[in-house]
Structure 1
Amino acid sequence: MGLSNHEIYIERLIREAQEQGKFVNLAGQGMPQRIEDQNPYLADEWRMAFKVLENGGYSPPWIEMDKELENDLERTYRDRLEHLRWLRRRLADIKSGPIQYFARDMRRLHSSHQHFLRAHAEKIRELNSKIERFNSICPVVSLQKKIMIVDELIRQFDLACPAIPLL
């Protein structure tokens, strides 16, 4: 029975780490390895291989990409919240400001909001591209991420924002 693509991939990671000298002078070298944290997503036959890689300070690319994606998703969510707060503050400022600038300021606010929505949609599309790359190399199907529906997310966010009267 031949090796699966996943097995070939792990073998290649181990071989590359060996060639780079990542297994030289490891803590606990030559001693039995204790595997305390059982990863429920990892097949039993791969536990030792992943533990050796972990002890060598090496993470598979998909794990690093997962961390990056989680950071990007969190940053995108924060950007959305910051825009919402800014929008509410700006609306309050305009409503309490001089009446002669009300229409002009509302048009500018609407324009700024539309610009944010377009830029935010582009960020989500870029995230979707990263998610597709991640899903293509992540060997654990249950850890793969869902693609976001850009237009629906933007529509929902826009509805959650305060209305900006166009004058």
Structure 2
Amino acid sequence: RMLSGHNSKSSVEDSYKILELEEGCSLDEVRNSYRTLAKKYHPDSSSSAADPAAFIRVEEAYRVVLSDVAARQRPGEDGEEEEDQFKAKSLQHRHYLSFEGVGIGTPSQREKQYMQFRVDRATEQVLEYRQHRLGGSYAGNDLLRARDVRESKKVKITQAVERLVEDLIQESMAKGDFDNLRGKGKPLQKFSDCPHIDPMTHNLNRILIDNGYQPEWILLQKEIRETIEQLRKGVVASRRKLGEPMSPSEQKQWGQVCEQFMEDIRKLNKRVDNFNLVVPILSRQMVHFSPQKEIVRAQKTYRALV
């Protein structure tokens, strides 16, 4: 009693009539009607209407109606069959030119799989973004914490230095180191009414200068000037000793004097470099002394004296 997959329209209508149903009924109605008629016409039932032939017709009608109802409830089945036919006729690799190569099966099946793939990928991206934000916030908190630690250390060091300075001042006052300061017990004189000058800084500098303190760059500048004057006087004095005109031996001595003078100038230029590193004012920096120019200057000074 096998039925073919394709039933004619008349056989479908007859099957509905046999089951006492109308087209468009639900699957549950088909099953209920089949059970009722099967109990009525089944040969083994005790019903007075038992009829094997009628039971066979009911069973065949049930199969036809069941197939028809199932076909109506699967509207995409025909479309999938057409897709299968198209798949058989098209190139095999053409199915993988879309959906980023995701999924297997028919195009509709692959589309569903691709949509699920996109959902999963979006979920992973959201999780990665949240992890990145959390990691960045933790890193920012660590940086702020490290900066606070550094600032607290600076404050502690500053406070320690201030306490040390205050202790040294109090100790010096107790020893009487400030008793011999000029102007002790007298108010500080007002320096100037100029708003661009800090009176406190000026008064502190004046106190230091009045008591013999000088900055390092001033001392270096003084030493350089004194040294170059001594070298100039020394080379002129050496030239005067040799007299005029100079003999070959005296010229040799003069050459030795010039070599020593040039060596002294090179050493002095190194001190000039050190001075330029510590001088606070750019306009106060010094240039190197030229040994050749200094020798020419000594010759001119000697001729002027002669």
Whether the TM-score (by the shorter chain) exceeds 0.5 is yes
1:85 aligns with 2:240: yes
1:143 aligns with 2:296: no
**Structure 2 length normalisation: TM-score?**
0.35
More helix by share: 2
Gaps of 5+ in 1: 1-14, 95-105, 163-167
Match of 2:266 in 1: 125
- Measure, in 1, the Cα distance between the counterparts of 2:288 and 2:210: 33
Deviation sequence 1:54-74 (CA, Å, 0-9, x none):
133211122222221121111
Instruction: Look at both structures and tell me which one has the larger radius of gyration over its CA atoms.
Output: 2
2:197 pairs, out of 14, 19, 44, with 44
1:24 pairs, out of 171, 178, 183, with 178
Shift in CA distance, 80/123, structure 1 to aligned 2, threshold 3 Å: same
Secondary structure of the 1:148 match is: coil
- 1:135–1:144: 8 Å Cα contact kept in structure 2? yes
**Structure 1 length normalisation: TM-score?**
0.60
1:64 aligns with 2:219: yes
Q: CA deviation at 1:140?
A: 2.4
Secondary structure of the 2:213 match is: coil
Gaps of 5+ in 2: 1-164
- 1:35–1:51: 8 Å Cα contact kept in structure 2? no
Q: CA deviation at 1:157?
A: 4.7
Match of 1:165 in 2: none
Secondary structure of the 2:227 match is: helix
Question: One-letter code of the match for 1:115?
Answer: Q
- 2:279–2:285: 8 Å Cα contact kept in structure 1? yes
- Measure, in 1, the Cα distance between the counterparts of 2:170 and 2:274: 26
- Measure, in 2, the Cα distance between the counterparts of 1:62 and 1:47: 18
Shift in CA distance, 53/82, structure 1 to aligned 2, threshold 3 Å: same
Q: CA deviation at 1:129?
A: 0.9
1:76 aligns with 2:217: no
Shift in CA distance, 34/23, structure 1 to aligned 2, threshold 3 Å: farther
